[in-house]
């Protein structure tokens, strides 16, 4: 159970003043649905209100002044502003309000009264003005105006004052907690406690306090990284304690698979297979990540691992995140399996009735050795005779629980997870800790390099003319439209509009796919493109992962500057899969900032996904790295992995030592660490303590 002391932080944000149901939706979009989310929403800027001049010496900029209200000047024209003339002993200033409510202003600024006012002073036509002051209070309450005022990232519709008030109320709920960091580290780093550090980070007194390297922020980042690493260490300990079983094949089936391939395995494919086979032969359960760029041949490595499970007398399953990807894996694997006399089946949410029942019966009896599927594989009525190996593809689309759910359908099941998203080492540590990794670093023989070019959007018509020439020569083209502000509505409009424009230019042979379509409609369009019935496929990022059309040789990405580098690399990997020369055109909106320029330049220089991922981390930080929220890499409130890499390594070592010395977290520090895990919502790690 979560300690009672933390319950006030896990209340919905609607308990905070000013946050009703309507604003709660906006605050949730900004930070999250609970009070604990709001305390982690840190300021990004600072307004300094220390400047308190007399009016005679006031110039432009933010200032706090004490004035007497002289008169209200309401215009008869509603388009003209409402002005309130004020003075001190040295001069006059007009407070200016647009769309003003007179009754409110008469109450806030009564005639003849002294008021403290803070805001931006400007000179207009020789007169001093302050448009919409930020603060108006009675002069004797000047101290109530926050002299150093934090500025928070906002979302449309949520006013800064309301957000600030809600955050202050949230901070009042923060309890004093026992110290969970070792005393030596606290002393060496000169860190204050968690609560004190949080209050300091939320109330910066200088620009330096906003930095990710400020002591308060470093302390909070360490807490967050320690909770992450401790949770992973506990899960890993539990997995190690679960009995595995050795899966040793005789290699006969694997040799037949290799013999059936139309090409020779690359060196890194051979290396990965031998690492996986060695792991499977151990009596502990395998947990290995296979990282390979788009087109590096992960599916064949997966098949050889599956063949080893069958040789050992068991079954193997491959889990994919989408219907499209599952069908594609099946299409790649089925012909190879047929050649070597292995039966393989497909199970997705679309399979119903007698056909599904027959597949399940076949699987339960053990006659069917290999199966590829989506989440449908994890349904309760899916039973295996003897599942030895579970493979999870594009694993970042699945949570830890989902990965384990498939592995739990057998005894001591080995687990291989695969991704085509290159992940820098620091990010890998936050998602997996010390998982064993096999990397595929080469492309299969015969693959051509992809010619990558950056072109400003104003030259769109030149690009279209070049595409006309390419189509005459038999090219097939992807045209990807961006996700704009994570709004599917605008995203859809962009793709639909571009589809309409391209149809006017190229005729009927232009298709459209996006996430809002029914999967059958989307699959039909994809199939038409693959069959050559369409020349151009306009798409949103639904095609980012796992679409395989070797005849497609041109990728156009519109507003490339809005995509994550890893995402652009994934998209580019949709072409260059056949033997023909391929190209990728990155259309960008000029002018580009320095970072955007550097990022697009890296794509022109290299096709090495791992180098691209490391550069992206360096340029943009971990928060945005994978472009989408479904990356499986934890989202951090306080830690920035591009800056806090040393803290991550320190947290990993600390967590490892803690789990060795106190695996059930029973000691005094262990109890404090349980609170840390709850605070950072690592509840599943606590469950592993109780479930053994």
Q: Where are the chain's structural domains?
A: 4-46+154-210, 50-145, 275-440, 450-606
Burial 402-420 (b: 16+ CB within 10 A, else e): ebbbbbebbebbbbbbbbb
Burial of 560 (0-12, 13-18, 19+ CB in 10 A): buried
Share of the chain residues as helix, strand and coil, in percent rounded to the nearest 5: 45, 20, 35
Say yes or no to pLDDT of 467 above 80. yes
pLDDT tens column, 199-237: 999 999 999 999 999 999 999 999 999 999 998 888 778
CA distance 41 to 46: 14
**Sign of dihedral through CA atoms 251, 253, 256, 260?**
negative
Structure tokens, 16: 């905070």
Burial 332-357 (b: 16+ CB within 10 A, else e): bbbebbeebebebbbbbeebeeeebe
pLDDT at residue 628, rounded to an integer: 35
CA distance 324 to 520: 10
Structure tokens, 152: 């928070």
CA distance 470 to 310: 46
pLDDT at residue 309, rounded to an integer: 97
**For the ranges 328-332, 466-470, 541-545, the one whose mean pLDDT is highest:** 466-470
Which stretch of 21-30, 147-156, 255-264, 607-616 has the lowest confidence by average pLDDT? 607-616
Structure tokens, 428: 């890998």
CATH number of 275-440: 3.40.50.300
Mean pLDDT of 264-286: 93
Which stretch of 50-59, 246-255, 415-424, 536-545 has the lowest confidence by average pLDDT? 536-545
Which stretch of 100-109, 432-441, 499-508 has the lowest confidence by average pLDDT? 432-441
For residue 118, give the 3-state DSSP assignment: strand
- Give, as one character, the DSSP assignment of residue 507: -
424 φ/ψ angles, rounded to the nearest 5 degrees: -60, 155
Tell me which H or E stretch contains 595.
helix 594-605
Structure tokens, 354: 């007698």
For residue 551, give the 3-state DSSP assignment: coil
CA distance 467 to 554: 9
DSSP secondary structure, 54-66, as one string: -GGG--SEEEEEE
Establish whether the linkage from the previous residue to 137 is cis, with ω within 30° of 0.
no
CA distance 134 to 136: 7
Burial of 291 (0-12, 13-18, 19+ CB in 10 A): buried
The answer to whether the CB of 591 falls within 8 A of the CB of 456 is no
pLDDT tens column, 342-394: 999 999 988 888 999 999 999 999 999 999 999 889 888 999 999 999 999 87
Say yes or no to pLDDT of 634 above 70. no
Which candidate, 214, 184, 213, 216, places its Cα nearest to that of 198?
216
- Domain 50-145 and domain 450-606 have a common topology: no
Mean pLDDT of the residues in the chain: 87
CA distance 387 to 107: 75
Q: What kind of fold does domain 50-145 have according to CATH?
A: OB fold (Dihydrolipoamide Acetyltransferase, E2P) (2.40.50)
Maximum C-alpha span of the chain: 98
For residue 414, give the 3-state DSSP assignment: strand
The answer to whether the CB of 30 falls within 8 A of the CB of 154 is yes
CA distance 463 to 485: 26
CA distance 174 to 9: 7
Mean pLDDT of 179-187: 95
- Of 96 and 613, the structure prediction assigns the larger pLDDT to 96
Q: How confident is the model at residue 444 (pLDDT cuts 50, 70, 90)?
A: low
Q: What percent of the chain has pLDDT over 70?
A: 91
Say yes or no to pLDDT of 542 above 70. no
Per residue, the 3-state secondary structure of 214-256, as one string, reads: CHHHHHHHHHHHHHHHHHHHHHHHHHHHCECCCCCCCCHHHHH
pLDDT at residue 78, rounded to an integer: 82
Structure tokens, 107: 């109450």
- Give, as one character, the DSSP assignment of residue 34: B
Say yes or no to pLDDT of 624 above 60. no
Structural domain 450-606, CATH architecture:
3-Layer(aba) Sandwich (3.40)
210 φ/ψ angles, rounded to the nearest 5 degrees: -85, -15
pLDDT tens column, 477-501: 999 987 544 455 555 557 888 899 9
Mean pLDDT of 156-163: 88
């Amino acid at each position: 159970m979560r300690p009672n002391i933390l319950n006030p932080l896990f209340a919905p944000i609607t308990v905070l003043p000013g946050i009703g149901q309507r604003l709660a939706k906006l605050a949730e979009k900004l930070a999250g649905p609970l009070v604990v989310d709001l305390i982690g929403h840190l300021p990004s800027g600072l307004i300094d209100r220390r400047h308190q001049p007399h009016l005679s010496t006031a110039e432009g900029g933010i200032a706090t002044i004490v004035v007497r209200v002289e008169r209200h000047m309401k215009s008869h024209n509603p388009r003209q502003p409402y002005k309130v003339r004020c003075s001190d002993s040295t001069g006059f200033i007009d407070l200016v309000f647009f769309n003003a409510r007179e009754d409110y202003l008469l109450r806030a600024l009564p005639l003849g009264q002294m008021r403290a006012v803070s805001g931006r002073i400007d000179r207009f036509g020789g007169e001093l003005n302050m448009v919409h002051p930020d603060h108006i209070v009675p002069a004797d309450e000047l101290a109530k105006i926050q002299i150093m005022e934090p500025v928070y990232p906002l979302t449309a519709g949520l006013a800064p004052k309301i957000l600030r008030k809600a955050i202050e109320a949230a901070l009042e709920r923060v309890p004093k907690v026992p110290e969970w960091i070792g005393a030596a580290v606290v002393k060496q780093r000169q860190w204050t406690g968690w609560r004190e550090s949080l209050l300091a980070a939320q109330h910066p007194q200088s620009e330096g306090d906003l930095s990710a390297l400020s002591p308060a922020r470093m302390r909070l980042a360490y807490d967050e990284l320690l909770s992450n690493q401790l949770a992973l260490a506990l899960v890993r300990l539990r997995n190690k304690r679960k009995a595995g079983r050795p899966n040793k094949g005789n290699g006969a089936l694997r040799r037949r698979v290799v013999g059936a391939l139309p090409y020779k395995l690359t060196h890194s494919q051979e290396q990965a297979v031998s690492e996986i086979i060695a792991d499977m032969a151990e009596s502990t359960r395998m947990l290995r990540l296979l990282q390979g760029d788009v087109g590096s041949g992960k599916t064949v490595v997966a098949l050889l691992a599956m063949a080893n499970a069958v040789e050992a007398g068991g079954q193997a399953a491959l889990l994919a995140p989408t219907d499209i990807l599952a069908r594609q894996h099946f299409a790649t694997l089925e012909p190879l399996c047929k050649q070597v006399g292995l039966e393989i089946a497909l199970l997705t949410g679309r399979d119903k009735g007698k056909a599904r029942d027959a597949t399940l019966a076949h699987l339960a009896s053990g006659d069917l050795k290999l199966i590829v599927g989506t989440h449908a594989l994890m349904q309760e009525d899916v039973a295996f005779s003897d599942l030895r190996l579970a493979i999870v593809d594009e694993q970042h689309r699945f949570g830890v629980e989902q990965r384990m759910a498939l592995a739990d359908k057998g005894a001591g099941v080995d687990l291989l997870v695969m991704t085509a998203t290159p992940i820098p080492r620091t990010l890998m540590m936050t998602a997996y800790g010390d998982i064993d990794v096999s990397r595929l670093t080469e492309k299969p023989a015969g693959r051509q390099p992809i010619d990558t070019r950056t072109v400003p959007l104003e030259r769109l018509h030149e690009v279209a003319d070049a595409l006309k020439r390419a189509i005459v020569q038999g090219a097939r083209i992807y045209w990807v439209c961006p996700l704009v502000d994570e709004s599917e509505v605008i995203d859809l409009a962009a793709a639909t509009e571009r589809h309409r424009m391209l149809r006017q230019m190229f005729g009927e042979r232009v298709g459209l796919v996006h996430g809002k379509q029914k999967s059958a409609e989307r699959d039909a369009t994809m199939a038409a493109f693959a069959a050559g019935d369409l020349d151009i496929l306009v798409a949103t990022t639904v095609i980012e992962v796992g679409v395989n059309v070797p005849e497609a040789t041109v990728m156009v990405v519109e507003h490339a500057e809005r995509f994550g580098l890893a995402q652009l690399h994934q998209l580019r990997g949709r072409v260059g899969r056949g033997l023909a020369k391929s190209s990728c055109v990155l259309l960008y909106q000029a002018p580009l900032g320095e970072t955007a320029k550097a990022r697009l330049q890296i794509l022109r220089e290299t096709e090495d996904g791992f180098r691209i991922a490391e550069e992206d981390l360096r340029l943009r930080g971990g928060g945005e790295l994978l472009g989408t929220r479904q990356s499986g890499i934890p989202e951090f409130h306080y830690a920035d992995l591009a800056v806090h890499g040393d803290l991550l390594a320190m947290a990993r070592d600390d967590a490892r030592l803690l789990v060795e010395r106190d695996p059930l977290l029973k000691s005094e520090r262990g109890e404090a660490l349980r609170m840390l895990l709850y605070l950072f919502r690592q509840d599943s790690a606590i469950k592993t303590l109780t479930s053994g």
